[in-house]
Structure 1
């Protein structure tokens, strides 16, 4: 990989991982345009590490409170545990783990079918248009009142299924999970919080698992400077993209990204003819 390719892919990962425009769909398209058939798994892991750190930096207070309450919950008695659980943060962690489990199970069950759509740009364009439809539908939602204290078990199950659907190239993970949360009547801030905290174990965890299990050492010889550059670019781009997207979600403007999805889908169809 050339340095220019590295920078393009890292910037693309940082922006599209959080903007609801599908990072996987854009990577399929850009790899096709650059003539890159396979990106080393180590490089992919580094990119996802960068965006994972971006989430941690944006939500470090919430993450710290969750870990603090979880530790308190672990050492307290039965009655105190119930009170700590009902305060919200322990329940939030549990629901995130449930969603991760649902995504993992569905991803494993439908792995062969889902993998057939990768490296096929036309499918990425089709699913990108589907993402556009999902986002456009949020224009009719004013925002609900539910938060972690009022949602029940079906919530993480449905969000986990929505995230599994986003394994398809062109379906945005953030778009699918945030929109689903809004459709279920949650507050905008909670829909965003749950979606992005869910990304930490789901996105980075999936990349790490793939790196460990596939035993692909193609990227082990990559220049360390290139890997560090890719990490920093994806982190910085991801940080600012995430901060900006939160503003869009809070303002009820996430539907605006649908027009971009439609435009890329249509333009890409003409380019690939």
Structure 2
């Protein structure tokens, strides 16, 4: 792999990780077009970690507040005398101590379900047996889910901020687990799954990206034992360049996508996924 190829894959990962078009599917197709047949899964996870850093940067206030709430909860510290109801990135998941604690529990539940499903899907991804036609079929599935989720969201008369329930958390975790399959957008199916269960757009978007943090970090830790495979096949330069490109592109695409989610424009991505999926099925 050349440094240029690493940058291209990094930019593609950064864009597709957050835009609901499937980063894993696009990476597999790009690697095929580049003739890179022996790219270890850990390289893809390195790129995912770079985009994860973009999530942490974007949601740093929410993450910090949740960590403070968790610290006070574990060590039984009193909550601040006056609880705020902030606007912005902490409003949906941690506007106060009670909702913040609930968010922490729901993230744990979602992560457990995602991890259980990920054990099975990782075997399919790791042996490289996913055909490109199946990946392109996943694009079509994602597009249908995006359209349906927006149709359902528009039928709701009340779009106020909602508190995630345990049933919603389990279903969102299930959706995120399915989203580990190449061709199925993790962000797309997670946000769609949240909206299907009645979560409002703003909370669905924020929760989708926050809950990705333990899932991606866990996958990275599990694959670290194979780091020798990456360094044996790929030199450090493409890895570093790809991660830097993924971080920069990821932060920009995340900022843009959050605005589109709150405006209810997710189905716009179906205009790309449908022809991309059909053409892929025909030519691959």
TM above 0.5: yes
Q: Match for residue 245 of structure 1?
A: 257
Task: Give the TM-score normalised by structure 2.
Answer: 0.85
| Cα distance change, pair 18–115 in 1 and its aligned pair in 2 (3 A) | same
Q: Match for residue 259 of structure 1?
A: 271
Greater Cα shift, 123-132 or 39-48:
39-48
Map 1:1-273; keep pairs closer than 5 Å: 1-76=1-76, 87-109=98-120, 112=123, 118-140=129-151, 141-142=153-154, 145=159, 147=161, 150-212=163-225, 215-220=226-231, 222-272=234-284
Query: How far is 1:225 from its partner?
Result: 3.5
Task: Give the TM-score normalised by structure 1.
Answer: 0.89
Query: How far is 1:33 from its partner?
Result: 1.2
Q: CA RMSD in A?
A: 2.4
Query: Do the aligned partners of 2:25 and 2:135 also contact (CA within 8 Å) in 1?
Result: yes
Alignment length (residue pairs): 266
Tell me, in whole angstroms, the C-alpha distance in 2 between the residues paired with 1:113 and 1:226: 26
Query: Do the aligned partners of 2:172 and 2:190 also contact (CA within 8 Å) in 1?
Result: yes
| Cα distance change, pair 29–237 in 1 and its aligned pair in 2 (3 A) | same
- Gaps in structure 2 of 5+ consecutive residues: 84-93
Query: Do the aligned partners of 2:22 and 2:185 also contact (CA within 8 Å) in 1?
Result: yes
| Cα distance change, pair 249–118 in 1 and its aligned pair in 2 (3 A) | farther
- CA deviation map 1:63-115 (0-9, x unaligned): 111011111111227x97xx999621122122111111101112225655676
